[in-house]
Structure 1
Amino acid sequence: MPQPRFWDPDGARYGIPTYPYHLAPDGLATRRQLRARGLRPGGQPVAAQVLWRSRRGVRAAYLYRLDLALPVRPMTSARWAAVAKALAARRWCPCCRRDAGYILPASLGTCLTCAESTALAV
């Protein structure tokens, strides 16, 4: 029986232990899987990787050990304020200098009202 294409549990071929999609051992998780459990890598090195082929070529997801993961740090009031300020900056129109009430489209760079008036003027 042939081995799957990306099967390298000892890391001889890829430098770190490598597994095909859906075949990683228990005790390892991606960043998203850690976050769903309320954990973060906490400075630990990458323990393994999952490789798979897609339309964009070979993709990789790094795996971290669950036993070394730390709990996610809680949001402080200063962090909440920084996030609110960053989101407010994304709603601020540079042309009319007002809060549009929605995140400005990156393709336009202005609110829809200013974009329409600019398009009509041209």
Structure 2
Amino acid sequence: MSRIRAAYFDPDGARYGIPTYWWRGAPPGYATRRQLTAAGLRPGGQPIAAQVLWRGVGGTRAAYLYRVDLARPKRTATPAQRRAIRAALLARRTCPTCRQVRDYYIPRSLGECLTCAHPLEAAA
């Protein structure tokens, strides 16, 4: 085992407080948040079970691991929530000045569509 791997290997958590493994050295049964999401799961309120440490840009990097057996299925949005999201996104594309629905989001810095904000450039 290399010195770097040995520095980050603490399976009982004596040195770091929680079980710690090196990059790609975690045992099966643990997953990161992204890995859980890819599998259609979520942590479900469980605490961090372990961590992976590695040397990266700017120093030591960490990824927290959760137990797969305690993970819960991802929740899906209800039809009412989907309608609300659709309405909110439509409101972001509707210009308050000319009331036209644009194919882009209205810039918050301008507060209106590009045609209304710069009428001389739109006419040219």
State the TM-score bracket (shorter-chain normalisation).
Answer: 0.7 to 0.9
Higher helix content, 1 or 2: 2
State the alpha-carbon separation in 1 of the partners of residues 92 and 60 from structure 2.
34
Change (3 A) 1:74 1:53: same
1:53 to 52, 55, 58: 55
Deviations 1:48-70 (A, max 9, x none): 11122322433222111111111
Q: What displacement does 1:43 show? A: 1.0
User: Could you tell me which amino acid in structure 1 is paired with residue 51 of structure 2?
Assistant: Q
Deviations 1:84-107 (A, max 9, x none): 233234434466554322234678
Corresponding residue number in structure 1 for 2:71: 69
Corresponding residue number in structure 2 for 1:32: 34
Give TM-score scaled by structure 2 length: 0.73
Amino-acid identity (%): 62
User: Could you tell me which amino acid in structure 2 is paired with residue 77 of structure 1?
Assistant: P
Residue 85, structure 1, aligned to residue 87, structure 2: yes
Unaligned 5+ segments in structure 1 are none
Give TM-score scaled by structure 1 length: 0.74
Residue 17, structure 1, aligned to residue 49, structure 2: no
State the alpha-carbon separation in 2 of the partners of residues 60 and 106 from structure 1.
35
Q: Give the greater-gyration-radius structure (CA).
A: 2
Higher mean alpha-carbon deviation, 67-76 vs 1-10, is at: 1-10
User: Could you tell me which amino acid in structure 1 is paired with residue 76 of structure 2?
Assistant: P
State the alpha-carbon separation in 2 of the partners of residues 94 and 58 from structure 1.
48
Change (3 A) 1:74 1:113: same
Deviations 1:28-49 (A, max 9, x none): 0111111111111111111011
SS at 1:87 equivalent: helix
Aligned length: 119
State the alpha-carbon separation in 1 of the partners of residues 114 and 58 from structure 2.
34
